[in-house]
Amino acid sequence: MKYVDEFRDRAVAEKLAATIAEEAKGGHDYYFMEFCGGHTHAIFRYGVQDLMPANVHFVHGPGCPVCVLPVRRLDDAVELAERHGAILCSYGDMMRVPGTRQRSLIKAKADGADIRMVYSTMDALKIARDNPDRQVVFFAIGFETTTPPTAVAVLQAEKEGLKNFSVFVNHVLTPAAIGHILDSEDFAPGGPARIDGFLGPSHVSAVIGSKPYEAAAAHYQKPVVICGFEPLDVMQSVLMLIRQIKEGRCEVENEYTRVVTRDGNLKAQALVDEVLELRESFEWRGLGPVANSALRLKEKYAFYDAEKRFEISAKQSRETKSCECPAILRGVKKPTDCKLFGTVCTPDNPMGSCMVSSEGACAAYWTYGRFRNKDQAKQTEIA
Partner 1 sequence: MCLAIPAKIVSVDESDATAIVSLEGIKKKISTALIEDAAIGDYVLVHVGYALNKLSEDEAQRTLDLMREGGLLGEELAEITEGSQ
Partner 2 sequence: MSDMTSGPSTLTGSVDMTHGGGGRAMAELIRTLFQKHFSNPVLDQGNDGALVALPPGRVVISTDSHVITPLFFPGGDIGALSINGTVNDVAMMGAKPLYLSVGFILEEGFPLADLERIVISMAAAAKAADVTIATGDTKVVEKGKGDGVFISTTGIGVVPEGVKTSGDNARPGQAVLVSGTIGDHGVAILSKRESLEFETEIVSDCAALNGMIANMLAAVPNITTLRDPTRGGLAATLNEIASASKVGMMLEESAIPIRPDVSAACEFLGLDALYVANEGKLICICEEADANRLVDIMRAHPLGENAARIGTVIADDAHLVQMRTGFGGTRVVDWIAGEQLPRIC
For partner 2, the binding residues (CB under 8 A) are 1, 4, 8, 10, 13-14, 17, 37-38, 44-51, 64-66, 91-93, 95-96, 116-120, 123, 142, 146, 231, 346-349, 357-359, 366-371, 374
Q: Which is nearer to partner 1, 37 or 75 (CB)?
A: 37
Distance CA 135, CA 119 (A): 19
Of 97, 78, 70, 72, nearest to 137 (Cα)?
78
Q: Which does 347 bind (CB under 5 to 8 A by kind): partner 1, partner 2, none?
A: partner 2
Q: Which is nearer to partner 2, 326 or 360 (CB)?
A: 360
In the chain, DSSP finds a helix count (H) and a strand count (E) of: 17, 11
Q: Per CB under 8 A, which of residues 210..249 are in contact with partner 1?
A: 228-229, 232-233, 235-236, 239
- Cβ 339 to partner 1, closest distance in Å? 30
Q: Is residue 1 close enough to count as binding partner 1 by CB under 8 A?
A: yes
Q: Considering Cα of 291, then 293, then 296, then 300, what sign does the dihedral take?
A: positive
One of 48, 60, 63, 99 touching partner 1 (CB under 8 A): 63
Q: Which does 344 bind (CB under 5 to 8 A by kind): partner 1, partner 2, none?
A: none
Q: Per CB under 8 A, which of residues 246..265 are in contact with partner 1?
A: 255-260, 265
Q: Which is nearer to partner 2, 145 or 244 (CB)?
A: 145
Close Cβ partners of 250 (under 8 Å, ≥ 6 residues apart): 217, 218, 221, 222, 223, 244
Contact 124, 146 (CB under 8 A): no
Contact 98, 350 (CB under 8 A): yes
* Number of Cβ atoms within 10 Å of the Cβ of 348: 6
In 110-185 the beta strands, taken as DSSP E runs, fall at: 115-117, 136-142, 165-171
Q: Per CB under 8 A, which of residues 39..58 are in contact with partner 1?
A: 39
Contact 328, 361 (CB under 8 A): yes
Binding site for partner 1 (CB under 8 A): 1-4, 6-7, 11-12, 14-19, 22, 35-39, 63, 91, 119-123, 142-143, 145-146, 148-149, 152, 201-207, 228-229, 232-233, 235-236, 239, 255-260, 265, 267-268, 271
